[in-house]
A and B are shown apart, each in its own frame.
Chain A
Amino acid sequence: MPIKKLAFIVDKLPYKAETSRLALTHAISSQTVEIYLEDGDNVEPVLAFVGDGVLNCLKDQKALDHYSISSMEMHLKNALLLDLKVLVCKEDLESFGLTEDSIVMDAEEIGGEETTKVVPYDTILQEMDSSDHILYF
Protein backbone atom coordinates (compact mmCIF):
# COMPACT_ATOMS: atom_id res chain seq x y z
CA MET A 1 0.00 0.00 0.00
CA PRO A 2 2.34 2.83 -1.07
CA ILE A 3 -0.03 5.82 -1.30
CA LYS A 4 -3.79 5.68 -0.91
CA LYS A 5 -5.79 8.60 -2.23
CA LEU A 6 -8.77 9.57 -0.07
CA ALA A 7 -11.57 11.81 -1.34
CA PHE A 8 -13.60 13.60 1.34
CA ILE A 9 -16.81 14.77 -0.33
CA VAL A 10 -18.95 17.28 1.58
CA ASP A 11 -22.52 17.84 0.40
CA LYS A 12 -24.15 18.81 3.70
CA LEU A 13 -24.92 22.27 5.03
CA PRO A 14 -22.71 23.69 7.79
CA TYR A 15 -23.94 23.80 11.41
CA LYS A 16 -27.20 21.88 10.91
CA ALA A 17 -25.19 18.86 12.00
CA GLU A 18 -21.56 18.05 12.75
CA THR A 19 -21.14 16.24 9.43
CA SER A 20 -19.14 18.76 7.46
CA ARG A 21 -17.00 19.61 10.48
CA LEU A 22 -16.14 15.92 10.80
CA ALA A 23 -15.10 15.86 7.15
CA LEU A 24 -12.55 18.58 7.73
CA THR A 25 -11.31 16.99 10.94
CA HIS A 26 -10.81 13.65 9.22
CA ALA A 27 -9.22 15.19 6.13
CA ILE A 28 -6.77 17.21 8.22
CA SER A 29 -6.00 14.27 10.51
CA SER A 30 -5.35 11.99 7.54
CA GLN A 31 -2.16 13.93 6.94
CA THR A 32 -0.64 12.49 10.08
CA VAL A 33 -1.44 8.78 9.72
CA GLU A 34 1.87 8.05 8.01
CA ILE A 35 3.49 7.78 11.44
CA TYR A 36 1.38 4.68 12.08
CA LEU A 37 1.97 3.11 8.62
CA GLU A 38 4.80 1.09 7.16
CA ASP A 39 7.74 2.99 5.67
CA GLY A 40 6.83 4.41 2.27
CA ASP A 41 3.09 4.13 2.87
CA ASN A 42 1.03 7.28 3.03
CA VAL A 43 -2.34 8.81 2.22
CA GLU A 44 -3.15 11.70 -0.10
CA PRO A 45 -6.33 13.52 0.89
CA VAL A 46 -8.53 15.71 -1.31
CA LEU A 47 -11.44 17.68 0.12
CA ALA A 48 -14.30 18.61 -2.22
CA PHE A 49 -17.42 20.65 -1.55
CA VAL A 50 -20.46 19.95 -3.72
CA GLY A 51 -24.20 20.68 -3.59
CA ASP A 52 -25.30 22.36 -0.35
CA GLY A 53 -21.80 21.65 0.93
CA VAL A 54 -20.39 24.67 -0.91
CA LEU A 55 -22.06 26.85 1.74
CA ASN A 56 -19.44 25.61 4.24
CA CYS A 57 -16.95 27.77 2.38
CA LEU A 58 -18.73 31.12 2.80
CA LYS A 59 -16.72 34.07 4.09
CA ASP A 60 -17.57 36.03 7.23
CA GLN A 61 -19.33 33.24 9.09
CA LYS A 62 -20.53 34.30 12.56
CA ALA A 63 -20.63 30.87 14.19
CA LEU A 64 -18.94 32.05 17.37
CA ASP A 65 -21.51 34.83 17.80
CA HIS A 66 -24.57 32.75 16.97
CA TYR A 67 -23.69 29.22 18.09
CA SER A 68 -20.64 29.74 20.35
CA ILE A 69 -18.61 27.32 18.25
CA SER A 70 -15.70 27.77 15.90
CA SER A 71 -16.68 28.52 12.32
CA MET A 72 -16.29 26.25 9.32
CA GLU A 73 -14.51 29.18 7.73
CA MET A 74 -11.69 28.87 10.29
CA HIS A 75 -11.48 25.10 9.84
CA LEU A 76 -11.27 25.56 6.08
CA LYS A 77 -8.45 28.07 6.50
CA ASN A 78 -6.64 25.58 8.73
CA ALA A 79 -7.03 22.96 5.99
CA LEU A 80 -5.41 25.36 3.51
CA LEU A 81 -2.69 26.17 6.05
CA LEU A 82 -1.88 22.46 6.12
CA ASP A 83 -1.70 22.33 2.30
CA LEU A 84 -4.82 20.26 1.84
CA LYS A 85 -6.17 20.14 -1.69
CA VAL A 86 -9.56 21.90 -1.46
CA LEU A 87 -12.00 21.89 -4.38
CA VAL A 88 -15.35 23.67 -4.66
CA CYS A 89 -17.88 22.79 -7.35
CA LYS A 90 -18.27 25.70 -9.76
CA GLU A 91 -21.78 24.76 -10.93
CA ASP A 92 -23.12 24.36 -7.37
CA LEU A 93 -21.53 27.64 -6.32
CA GLU A 94 -23.22 29.39 -9.23
CA SER A 95 -26.57 27.77 -8.42
CA PHE A 96 -26.52 29.73 -5.14
CA GLY A 97 -25.56 32.92 -7.00
CA LEU A 98 -22.12 32.83 -5.38
CA THR A 99 -18.69 33.58 -6.82
CA GLU A 100 -15.08 33.14 -5.70
CA ASP A 101 -15.43 36.49 -3.91
CA SER A 102 -18.07 34.96 -1.62
CA ILE A 103 -15.99 32.08 -0.34
CA VAL A 104 -12.73 31.38 1.48
CA MET A 105 -10.08 31.19 -1.23
CA ASP A 106 -6.92 31.44 0.87
CA ALA A 107 -5.51 31.51 4.39
CA GLU A 108 -2.79 34.09 3.90
CA GLU A 109 -3.46 35.75 7.27
CA ILE A 110 -2.42 32.59 9.13
CA GLY A 111 0.48 31.74 6.81
CA GLY A 112 -1.33 29.40 4.41
CA GLU A 113 0.13 28.99 0.93
CA GLU A 114 -2.46 26.69 -0.62
CA THR A 115 -5.62 28.14 -2.21
CA THR A 116 -9.13 26.86 -2.78
CA LYS A 117 -9.79 25.75 -6.36
CA VAL A 118 -13.21 26.39 -7.88
CA VAL A 119 -13.57 23.66 -10.49
CA PRO A 120 -16.27 22.12 -12.72
CA TYR A 121 -18.06 19.09 -11.30
CA ASP A 122 -16.32 16.93 -13.92
CA THR A 123 -12.98 17.68 -12.27
CA ILE A 124 -14.33 16.55 -8.91
CA LEU A 125 -15.66 13.39 -10.55
CA GLN A 126 -12.18 12.72 -11.96
CA GLU A 127 -10.71 13.14 -8.47
CA MET A 128 -13.26 10.67 -7.14
CA ASP A 129 -12.52 8.23 -9.97
CA SER A 130 -8.81 8.33 -9.19
CA SER A 131 -9.33 7.89 -5.44
CA ASP A 132 -8.89 4.62 -3.59
CA HIS A 133 -11.57 5.52 -1.07
CA ILE A 134 -14.43 8.03 -1.22
CA LEU A 135 -15.90 9.28 2.02
CA TYR A 136 -19.19 11.23 1.97
CA PHE A 137 -20.06 13.73 4.62
Chain B
Amino acid sequence: MPELKTMEPSDTLDVLGRVCPYPLVLTKKKLEKMNSGDILKILCDAPASAEDSIPRFCEKQGCAMEVVKLEDKGYWEIYIQKK
Protein backbone atom coordinates (compact mmCIF):
# COMPACT_ATOMS: atom_id res chain seq x y z
CA MET B 1 0.00 0.00 0.00
CA PRO B 2 1.40 3.45 -0.91
CA GLU B 3 2.24 5.92 1.83
CA LEU B 4 -0.77 8.02 2.81
CA LYS B 5 1.16 11.25 2.26
CA THR B 6 1.59 10.39 -1.41
CA MET B 7 -2.14 9.89 -1.91
CA GLU B 8 -4.63 12.65 -2.74
CA PRO B 9 -6.44 13.68 0.46
CA SER B 10 -10.24 13.70 0.37
CA ASP B 11 -10.30 16.71 2.67
CA THR B 12 -7.94 19.04 4.54
CA LEU B 13 -8.35 20.39 8.06
CA ASP B 14 -6.32 23.45 9.02
CA VAL B 15 -5.98 23.76 12.78
CA LEU B 16 -2.86 25.94 12.73
CA GLY B 17 -2.91 28.28 15.70
CA ARG B 18 -5.28 26.11 17.69
CA VAL B 19 -4.11 24.38 20.84
CA CYS B 20 -5.15 21.19 22.60
CA PRO B 21 -7.91 19.99 22.76
CA TYR B 22 -9.27 21.75 19.65
CA PRO B 23 -7.18 19.92 17.00
CA LEU B 24 -8.33 16.52 18.24
CA VAL B 25 -11.99 17.41 18.65
CA LEU B 26 -12.11 19.11 15.25
CA THR B 27 -10.39 16.07 13.74
CA LYS B 28 -12.99 13.76 15.29
CA LYS B 29 -15.78 15.99 13.99
CA LYS B 30 -14.34 16.08 10.49
CA LEU B 31 -13.75 12.31 10.36
CA GLU B 32 -17.34 11.62 11.41
CA LYS B 33 -18.50 13.21 8.17
CA MET B 34 -16.08 11.33 5.95
CA ASN B 35 -16.48 7.92 4.37
CA SER B 36 -14.51 4.77 5.08
CA GLY B 37 -11.24 4.83 3.12
CA ASP B 38 -11.20 8.63 2.77
CA ILE B 39 -7.96 10.40 3.62
CA LEU B 40 -7.90 13.48 5.83
CA LYS B 41 -4.89 15.79 5.78
CA ILE B 42 -4.44 17.90 8.90
CA LEU B 43 -2.18 20.91 9.33
CA CYS B 44 -1.33 21.27 13.01
CA ASP B 45 1.23 23.25 14.99
CA ALA B 46 0.24 22.03 18.46
CA PRO B 47 2.91 19.49 19.55
CA ALA B 48 0.73 17.68 22.10
CA SER B 49 -2.01 17.16 19.53
CA ALA B 50 0.26 16.22 16.63
CA GLU B 51 2.51 13.86 18.54
CA ASP B 52 0.20 12.48 21.21
CA SER B 53 -3.57 12.95 21.23
CA ILE B 54 -4.34 12.62 17.50
CA PRO B 55 -2.08 9.54 17.03
CA ARG B 56 -3.58 7.98 20.18
CA PHE B 57 -7.09 8.63 18.86
CA CYS B 58 -6.24 7.06 15.48
CA GLU B 59 -4.77 4.02 17.18
CA LYS B 60 -7.96 3.55 19.21
CA GLN B 61 -10.10 3.98 16.11
CA GLY B 62 -7.92 1.60 14.10
CA CYS B 63 -7.28 4.25 11.43
CA ALA B 64 -4.07 4.26 9.39
CA MET B 65 -2.05 7.40 10.08
CA GLU B 66 1.18 9.13 9.11
CA VAL B 67 2.70 12.15 10.79
CA VAL B 68 5.15 14.32 8.90
CA LYS B 69 7.00 17.00 10.85
CA LEU B 70 7.91 19.94 8.66
CA GLU B 71 10.83 21.39 10.59
CA ASP B 72 11.28 24.33 8.25
CA LYS B 73 7.63 25.35 8.49
CA GLY B 74 7.18 24.63 12.19
CA TYR B 75 4.14 22.45 11.89
CA TRP B 76 3.02 18.89 11.23
CA GLU B 77 1.10 17.34 8.38
CA ILE B 78 -0.99 14.44 9.59
CA TYR B 79 -2.58 12.00 7.18
CA ILE B 80 -5.41 9.80 8.44
CA GLN B 81 -7.27 7.18 6.48
CA LYS B 82 -10.71 6.55 7.97
CA LYS B 83 -11.31 2.90 8.83
Contacts and interface: CB of A to CB of B under 8 A. Distances in A.
Interface of A: 28-29, 31-32, 34-36, 39, 78, 81-83
Interface of B: 20-22, 24-26, 28-29, 53, 56-57, 60
Contacts of A78: 22
Main SS of chain A's interface residues?
Answer: helix
A86 B42 CA distance: 27
Nearest to B52: A35
A46 to B, nearest CB: 16
B72 to A, nearest CB: 29
B61 to A, nearest CB: 9
Contacts of B20: 32
Contacts of A35: 24, 53, 56-57, 60
